[in-house]
Amino acid sequence: MTVIWTQDGIVENDPWTAADGEGAGLVSLAEALDHALDNTPLGVQLAPDDDVRDLAPILDRIAIVALSFPAFNDGRAFSQAALLRQRVGYGGELRAVGAVLIDQIPLMLRTGFDSFAVSHAPTVARLRDRRLPGIDLHYQPSVDKAAAGPGYSWRRRAAG
Amino acid sequence: MYRYDEFDQAFVSARVEQFRDQVERRLSGEISEDAFKPLRLMNGVYLQLHAYMLRVAVPYGTLNSRQMHKLAHIARTYDRGYGHFTTRQNIQYNWPSLKDIPAILEELAEVEMHAIQTSGNCIRNVTADHFAGAAADEVADPRPYAEILRQWSSVHPEFSFLPRKFKIAVTASERDRAAIQVHDIGLQLKKDAEGRLGFAVWIGGGQGRTPILAKKVKDFLPEADLLSYITAIMRVYNLHGRRDNKYKARIKILVHETGVEQLSAEIEAEWAHLKDGELKLPDADIAAINAYFAPKALAPRAEGWGELAAWKKSDPGFAAWVGRNVAPHRHPDYGMVTISLKPIGGIPGDATADQMDAVARLAVEFGHDEIRVTHEQNLVLPHVALADLEPLYRALLAEGLATANAGLITDIIACPGLDYCALANARSIPVAQDISNRFADPARQAEIGDLKIKISGCINACGHHHVGHIGILGVEKKGAELYQISLGGSGDENASIGQITGRGFEPDQVTDAVETIVETYLSQRKGLDESFIDCYRRIGADPFKAALYGNDEARAA
């Protein structure tokens, strides 16, 4: 069973999730570019080798972007997310799908993901308890809103 | 050397707690070994043939006595009384139990150490010239930049799941003692015409199954742009490096398949967006990190010159040790001392807890409390007054640490091989021991001169056989160990990849083959001044092949 989690908790009745827990209504990059003139907001699921910059011309048509982790050790989507946020300037919902595990979620949050499709039961359990295993001190800037860290220009401290 | 501030200390403690939680979840079965694997690897924990192995980071190979005493304590308390120094300037423990590892990490944190990113598909421990801060020929100390890279790369959110491991080395001399051309990124600190510091940047070097020398992508990168440019390289690699085949996943393959011109254009395009952003290093920060590495205030000790001459005259053993293991320091009254971890017939890189404690004490007494680990698996005391060399030598001798063989044929690099490693196809250590015993005679070693033998027990090349003057690679053929020999490799500023001589040798023939190669060199060299590698480059492989296989077979090959 896949659940959707954000920093506000578990999301019920997510419009991009079907009754069986699978993603619903999400289209590929090519389909999104084809339907850019439609009136309904688009949900786009990019493949790990898609260039996120291709979304730039249709940014205002997009309601959600899903980036996929085909395996937990395939980290391309971390760079895709950073580019989408910082280069393309996408400000909408950015969802991690695929192999989304508790130990990677803090890194995903830092690189700009704000929504997570999770099916791994121990991960779901920890998210329900809000027990995230991240470290609040960072040695590098990333996409997340972090305060300037003490000491050197490259350090950051988690906001909040 | 660098000292942790509160931020570093809090970060490392948080990392220990994070890992403790991961180990508990693994032990309770909440996470599978498959999912645990990348987590433990990112903290230096491997599952080996017989046990877990813990690899502890020694950033750019620099240690103080307190840290070395702690490494000894860990060897004694949690392991079997010894540790193994590696070709990445790290130390490995071969027998810790998984449940003890969080406690070991906590002990390491007490002395500003950790095991972060000593394995896994992430940016590994950044290495540097082991003579940094002491060598006469460097333009500046490379370690402050290695420290900046260490901090910036620690738990990097974007680059923790790269296609493959990623190794960065920094040197600051024309004479490359950090082997930068066989690293994913090699940095050579240099000055431009105006005297400003920056880096020549090389990418795509590596050993393993496909040895390739790095390509230069930047002749001068200003120091302020270090992190932005490396971020650009990492991002291009993370997005485009191959993930379909682990043997083709290193950046060297991306460079090779894309072409260095196109890839460096992609890196430049990415860098253009990042260059003047938040990764730009302020001068004040560079200066603050440099201040930790300010040159030691070394008192004049000119009396050492006369004493040294007299000691050498009265003790040929001491004279031989000084001749091989002491290199000139930038201060004329001092030397840089290599402590060989290659006793005759020993295991390359191994040190007992007692030896580690002894080195720590001697570093305080004679070496301004500084110790280095070299990528050739030895230790170095970088700042020793010539006037202190004799008492230091006596003390090292008593600990079995005064082998006078730095750079000689018995100063062999070897990976752990099939005695420990789950990846190995063949044993490395017994091969090294056998060669060491055969060439034990100091006079014979001196006659042969500089010669680097490097041994790997599998194609992953942890023993750096591709860049050995004589490289030995253990393979498995029909269930038996077989050793391929290559010649002419080199990991310095004149880097080259060794060429395989021909068919492999059975375990009991390897040392004979090495002896044949050495005898061929001795008979062919122009004189004592022509080293093995120079001679090989002049005469080529054929005379060696003829000696190893006979003329007919050499021609056929």
**A153 contacts B282? CB cut-off 8 A:** yes
Q: Number of C-alpha atoms within 13 angstroms, CB side, residue B220?
A: 9
Q: Is residue B501 part of a domain?
A: yes
pLDDT, mean of residues A58-76: 95
**A140 contacts B7? CB cut-off 8 A:** no
- A149 pLDDT tier (thresholds 50, 70, 90): confident
Give contacts of B160 with chain A, Cβ < 8 Å: 75, 78, 107
Taking one residue from A and the other from B, the number of pairs with CB-CB distance under 8 angstroms is: 108
Q: Reply yes or no on whether the pLDDT at B171 is more than 90.
A: yes
Q: Which residues of chain B are at the A interface, by a Cβ-Cβ cutoff of 8 Å? A: 5-7, 10-11, 14-15, 18, 21-22, 25, 30-31, 35, 38-39, 121, 148, 151-162, 227, 235, 238-239, 243, 273, 278-282, 285, 288-289
Q: Is B28 exposed, middle or buried (0-12, 13-18, 19+ CB in 10 A)?
A: exposed
Tell me the β-bridge partners of A44.
Answer: A27, A65
pLDDT value for A97: 96
**A78 contacts B5? CB cut-off 8 A:** no
Q: Are residues B177 and B258 in the same domain?
A: yes
Q: Is A145 on the interface with B (CB under 8 A)?
A: no
Residue A29: how many CB atoms within 10 A of its CB? 18
pLDDT value for B34: 83
Q: Is residue B132 part of a domain?
A: no
pLDDT value for A160: 64
The structure tokens listed for B113 are 């150490």
Q: Reply yes or no on whether the pLDDT at A68 is more than 60.
A: yes
The structure tokens listed for B443 are 């006079």
Find the range with the poorest average confidence among A88-97, B2-11, B43-52, B331-340: B43-52
Summarised one tens digit per residue, pLDDT across range B470-508 is: 999 999 999 999 999 999 999 999 999 999 999 999 999
Q: Which of B398, B429, B462 is the last residue of a domain?
A: B398
Instruction: Tell me the pairing of strands B371-373 and B62-63.
Output: antiparallel
pLDDT, mean of residues A77-95: 98
**B10 contacts A107? CB cut-off 8 A:** no
Give contacts of B6 with chain A, Cβ < 8 Å: 150
Summarised one tens digit per residue, pLDDT across range B376-398 is: 999 999 999 999 999 999 999 99
pLDDT value for A145: 87
- What CATH number has the domain bearing residue B277? 3.30.413.10
Q: Which DSSP helix (H) or strand (E) runs through B47?
A: strand B45-47
Q: Are residues B280 and B314 in the same domain?
A: no
Report how far residue B180's alpha carbon sits from residue B203's, in angstroms, rounded to the nearest whole number. Answer: 9
The structure tokens listed for B126 are 């950044």
- Find the CB nearest B156 among A80, A136, A140: A140
Q: Are residues B385 and B421 in the same domain?
A: no
Q: Are residues B269 and B307 in the same domain?
A: no
Q: Reply yes or no on whether the pLDDT at A19 is more than 80.
A: no
Q: Are residues B181 and B277 in the same domain?
A: yes
Q: Are residues B282 and B310 in the same domain?
A: no
Q: Is residue B118 part of a domain?
A: no
Q: Is A79 on the interface with B (CB under 8 A)?
A: yes
The candidate with the shortest Cα–Cα distance to B115, out of B180, B20, B5, is B20
Q: Are residues B286 and B152 in the same domain?
A: yes
Report how far residue B149's alpha carbon sits from residue B143's, in angstroms, rounded to the nearest whole number. Answer: 10
Q: Which of B291, B315, B337 is the last residue of a domain?
A: B291
Q: Are residues B359 and B417 in the same domain?
A: no
The candidate with the shortest Cα–Cα distance to B42, out of A119, A109, A123, A75, is A75
* In chain B, % of residues over pLDDT 90: 90
pLDDT, mean of residues A127-156: 93
Q: Check residues B208 and B448 and name the one with the higher pLDDT.
A: B448
The candidate with the shortest Cα–Cα distance to B474, out of B434, B440, B444, B437, is B434
pLDDT value for B52: 87
- B547 pLDDT tier (thresholds 50, 70, 90): very high
Domain A3-135 belongs to what topology?
TIM Barrel (3.20.20)
Place of tokens 């508790």: A102
- Helix ranges (DSSP H) in chain A: 29-34, 76-86, 105-110, 121-128
**A74 contacts B14? CB cut-off 8 A:** no
CA distance B163 to chain A (A): 7
- What CATH number has the domain bearing residue B372? 3.90.480.20
**B38 contacts A73? CB cut-off 8 A:** yes
Summarised one tens digit per residue, pLDDT across range B200-258 is: 999 999 999 999 999 999 999 999 999 999 999 999 999 999 999 999 999 999 999 99
Q: Reply yes or no on whether the pLDDT at B557 is more than 60.
A: no
CA distance B193 to chain A (A): 28
Q: Is A159 on the interface with B (CB under 8 A)?
A: no
CA distance A73 to chain B (A): 5
Q: What residues contact residue B455 under an 8 Å CB cut-off, 6+ apart?
A: B412, B413, B414, B415, B417, B428, B431, B432, B463, B465, B468, B471, B472, B473, B474
Report how far residue A79's alpha carbon sits from residue B236's, in angstroms, rounded to the nearest whole number. Answer: 9
Q: Reply yes or no on whether the pLDDT at B275 is more than 90.
A: yes
Q: Is residue B121 part of a domain?
A: no
pLDDT, mean of residues A9-24: 85
The candidate with the shortest Cα–Cα distance to B100, out of B27, B8, B12, is B27
DSSP states along B442-480 = HHHHHHH-S--EEEESSTT-TT-GGGSSEEEEEEEETTE
Q: Are residues B73 and B146 in the same domain?
A: no
Report how far residue B88's alpha carbon sits from residue B146's, in angstroms, rounded to the nearest whole number. Answer: 13
Q: Reply yes or no on whether the pLDDT at A150 is more than 90.
A: no
pLDDT, mean of residues B356-380: 97
The structure tokens listed for B403 are 């082998």
- Find the CB nearest A155 among B7, B158, B239: B7
CA distance A137 to chain B (A): 6
Q: Are residues B41 and B97 in the same domain?
A: yes
Please state, in angstroms and as integers, the Cα–Cα distance from residue B216 to each residue in B182, B220, B263, B272, B532, following that order.
12, 10, 12, 19, 28
Place of tokens 């860290």: A149
pLDDT, mean of residues B305-328: 97
Report how far residue B322's alpha carbon sits from residue B332's, in angstroms, rounded to the nearest whole number. Answer: 15
Q: Are residues B284 and B354 in the same domain?
A: no
**What mean pLDDT is reported for chain B?**
95
- Find the CB nearest B158 among A78, A136, A137: A78
pLDDT value for A154: 97
Q: Is residue B297 part of a domain?
A: no
Give contacts of B288 with chain A, Cβ < 8 Å: 151-152
Whether residue B231 contacts residue B225, with contact meaning beta carbons closer than 8 Å, is answered with no
Summarised one tens digit per residue, pLDDT across range B19-76 is: 999 999 888 988 888 888 888 988 899 887 777 899 999 999 999 999 999 999 999 9
The structure tokens listed for A103 are 């130990």
Q: Is A95 on the interface with B (CB under 8 A)?
A: no
Q: Is residue B120 part of a domain?
A: no
Q: Reply yes or no on whether the pLDDT at B552 is more than 80.
A: no
Question: Into how many domains does chain B fold?
Answer: 4
pLDDT value for B553: 57
**B282 contacts A87? CB cut-off 8 A:** no
- Find the CB nearest A111 among B148, B158, B279: B158
Q: Reply yes or no on whether the pLDDT at A22 is more than 80.
A: no
Residue range(s) defining the domain that contains residue B263: 142-291
Q: Are residues B376 and B421 in the same domain?
A: no
CA distance B240 to chain A (A): 8
